[in-house]
Amino acid sequence: MKLLVVEDEALLRHHLYTRLGEQGHVVDAVANAEEALYRVDEYHHDLAVIDLGLPGISGLDLIRQLRSRDKTFPILILTARGNWQDKVEGLASGADDYVVKPFQFEELEARLNALLRRSSGFIQSTIEAGPLLLDMNRKQALIDGTSMGLTAYEYRILEYLMRHHQQVVPKERLIEQLYPDDEERDPNVIEVLVGRLRRKLESCNGFKPIETVRGQGYLFTERCR
């Protein structure tokens, strides 16, 4: 998933960038609201973590501006005060959940995952599509109970396609899921990865849930639940 982290404290920003990256997310970590607004206009994000105590444009104003720009991704706020005034204002202005500083990364991760699941319409931490079962906690794909042995990148692509089942996902979006914006991107890599993924899925009774929509991207045709 591509996440936006807006935190002015460099060390904490770096910590979130590293830890979330380790969890398989592609992280856009910025220090202020202006940069965050630029990033959301340029890239597609699946979730944002926003500190309320930002310098300049406050975290609350940033959330309002994001919502006014029709950005519907879930927003998790980080608050230092932790009082209900801040929480209510943050949630009323468009955030979906909050974490009070200092926090344990596991708590933040649990809340992030819950928001991501919710935003793609899944309450459980597993997604089922025919014989395929995706365990988002273990970052594992199973067919008929047997692990598919996916690489980290293959898993990310499969999870993204399954979360957005019945929707055409552009190739560029999938690239964003794999690489941070400042890394060199090669569109052919996606084709190679999707090809490998298809082969692994087909190896099980010819299961073909991924279709190519010419000139637009990929479509996960199987209904997920």
Partner 1 sequence: MIAALRQLKRRWVSSLRLRLMFGYTVIAVLFMLALLPALRGAFLIALEKSVEKRLAADTGALISAARTDDGKLRMPSKLPDEEFDLPDAQLLGFIYDRDGQLVWQSPSTRDMSVSYLPRYDGRGDELLRTTDRQGREFYIYDVEIKLLRGQDAAFSIVTMQPASETQALYDDFMKQLYLWLGCALVLLLGLLWFGLTWGFRSLRGLREELDDVESGARERLSDEHPRELLRLTGSLNRLLDSERQQRERYRHSLDDLAHSLKTPLSVLQGATEVIAAKPENREQVHILQAQIERMSQQIGYQLQRASLRKSGLVRHRVPLAKVVDNLCEALDKVYRDKQVDVQRQFDAWLEIPMERAALLELLGNLLENAYRLCLGQVRISATIADGACHLCVEDDGPGVPVDQRERILRRGERLDAQHPGQGIGTAVVKDIIESYDGELFLEDSELGGAAFHVRI
The one segment of 4-12, 26-34, 65-73, 144-152 that binds partner 1 by CB under 8 A:
4-12
| H/E run at residue 129 | strand 126-129
Identify which of residues 54 and 190 has a Cβ nearer to partner 1 in the complex.
54
Q: Is the dihedral of CA 113, 119, 120, 121 positive or negative?
A: positive
**Residue 100 binding partner 1, by CB under 8 A:** yes
Shortest distance in whole angstroms from residue 59 CB to partner 1:
11
Identify which of residues 49 and 148 has a Cβ nearer to partner 1 in the complex.
49
Q: Which of 34, 42, 107, 183 binds partner 1 (CB under 8 A)?
A: 107
CB 189 within 8 A of CB 172: no
Q: Which of 35, 97, 172, 191 binds partner 1 (CB under 8 A)?
A: 97
CB 56 within 8 A of CB 82: no
Please state whether 130 falls in left (phi above 0), alpha (psi between -120 and 50) or beta. left
**Residue 56 binding partner 1, by CB under 8 A:** no
Q: Which of 21, 57, 64, 114 binds partner 1 (CB under 8 A)?
A: 114
Alpha-helical regions (H) of the chain: 10-22, 33-42, 59-68, 84-92, 105-119, 152-163, 171-178, 187-202
Q: Which of 9, 35, 172, 191 binds partner 1 (CB under 8 A)?
A: 9
- Residue ranges in contact with partner 1 by CB under 8 A: 9, 11-12, 15-16, 19, 51, 53, 78, 80-85, 87-88, 91-92, 96-98, 100-105, 107, 110, 114, 118, 123
